[in-house]
């Protein structure tokens, strides 16, 4: 089952753009090898924030490299929206309400 972990209104500021995080979540969730994904903005000295995707892969398909996921998302999201970093996880961290903990993801991606 495919699940998208997204918070509406969440964004990253990648100078000079403001990026809607939910767009990255939705597009990356369409990758055939991705079971779950959550995208976060992480601090970057040059751009302000950089986009990082935390990915849980499907067990039944070939495992793509981080570079393959980045290239795939670049084709679908455009030049400034695609994640510059991909972190593979066995499960996305959840908070007490069952939602993805963006705070924990930022720590993992930083």
Q: What is the pLDDT of residues 42-77, one digit of tens each?
A: 887 887 778 889 999 999 888 999 999 999 988 988
Percentage of the chain modeled with pLDDT above 70:
77
User: Looking at the predicted structure, is the pLDDT value of residue 5 above 60?
Assistant: no
Buried-state track 80-96, b at ≥16 Cβ within 10 A, e below 16: ebbbebbeeeeebbeee
In this predicted structure, what is the pLDDT of residue 81?
76
pLDDT, average across residues 18-40: 78
CA dihedral 52, 56, 62, 68 (to 10 degrees): -10
E runs forming strands in the chain:
3-4, 11-14, 17-20, 34-44, 48-57, 85-89
Q: What superfamily in CATH does domain 3-109 come from?
A: ANL, C-terminal domain (3.30.300.30)
* pLDDT on residue 40: 86
Mean pLDDT of 89-110: 93
Report which DSSP code applies to 65: P
Residue among 38, 47, 41 at smallest CA distance from 16: 47
Identify which of 59, 10, 46, 54 has the alpha carbon closest to the alpha carbon of residue 28.
54
């Amino acid at each position: 089952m495919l699940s998208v972990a997204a918070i509406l209104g969440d964004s990253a500021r990648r100078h000079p753009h403001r990026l809607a995080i939910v767009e990255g979540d939705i597009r990356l969730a369409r990758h055939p090898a991705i079971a779950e994904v959550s995208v976060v903005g992480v601090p970057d000295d040059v751009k302000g924030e950089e986009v990082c995707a935390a990915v849980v892969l499907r067990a039944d398909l070939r495992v793509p490299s981080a570079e393959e996921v980045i290239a795939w998302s670049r084709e679908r999201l455009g030049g400034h929206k695609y994640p510059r970093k991909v972190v593979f996880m066995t499960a996305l961290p959840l908070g007490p309400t069952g939602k993805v903990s963006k705070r924990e993801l930022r720590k993992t991606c930083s």
